Chain A
Amino acid sequence: MSDSFYLTGIDLLAGGLLLVTVGVVWRRELAAMARLLALQGLLLGAVPVLAGAHRGDPQLIAVGAAVIALRAGIFPRLLFARLQGEIGDDRAAIPLVSTAASLLLSAALVVAAYVVGSPLVALDPQGATRAVPVGLAMVFIGILLLATRRRALSQVIGLLVLDNGIDAVAFLATLGVPLVVELGVSLDVLLALVILGVLTGRMHAKFGGTDLDDLRELHE
């Protein structure tokens, strides 16, 4: 595989990741958001697979396959399993900010990501690192989702977008962190997801819904 083909592939994947992330901001139904999240995981896992094919490194391909299995398979599956239990109103995110405003904010965040990411790009302007700002943009948009959606599961989706973004930065900048770290991190995220799922279930039982505005007994 030639260098230019590889870099074009990386650019396409990065563009796809950004598009899917904006899609998550745009959609309001949790099920649609979860499907987009699965697509995001697939594109993310394709980055190390492509790099592995380019360098003839089977370990990278294996890592990519594992990322796809986890982020396009297991994580969305857990979300869907949780969504089965939600009814009616609980299946849509409640944004504090309108969709149009959220999309405008996302555009601003993408610009900010390019500014913040410029020192990283400057250090390695030729390779896949130049796409790193896309990962940072995913991180920022994840934070936006976390801050402006008031449904328990939509906060979980925000956290996952954030986490996918950091993984994207890792793969684009350095072809991933050392394996022991990647394993530990994936296990932690998986367990955190399971815990948040259980808590969402308990919230249904105690509050009769998952609107986070119901969580207001503890304050000063």
Chain B
Amino acid sequence: MVSVAYVIYVASFITLACTAAVGVYGVLAKRNIIKKIIALTIVGDTANTFAILLGFRVSANVMPPVLPSLNPSKELLTRFAGAAVDPVPQALVITAIVINLAITAFLLFLAVRIYSLYGTLDYGKVIRVRRGELDGEG
């Protein structure tokens, strides 16, 4: 008998794969720079959720990865190791979130600069303007 929790666990991986595909499509195909940045955060958050899910455990008595006592007994340690979720992906994710914040802030700064220099947020137009200028120079 497959448990409901297990079905949800597998279904979330499929959902994440679809979300990642949507995000990558958005970065590559959307011409609006803000939409590109939004798509980028979607991809980043999908990767983060994927990491968290990978460290999760499908079991009845799953525990957070924090030891409840400072001087744990042998039984508590055994129970903890058998039920706690993996803390490593959570450590990875908190690092990745901080980095994504920095990148998003920087990209938004660039979007503001692009708008004030080119008067548009359409990446296709920016490229066309640049190409026209290059031909003019030559």
Is this pair of chains taken from one and the same complex?
no
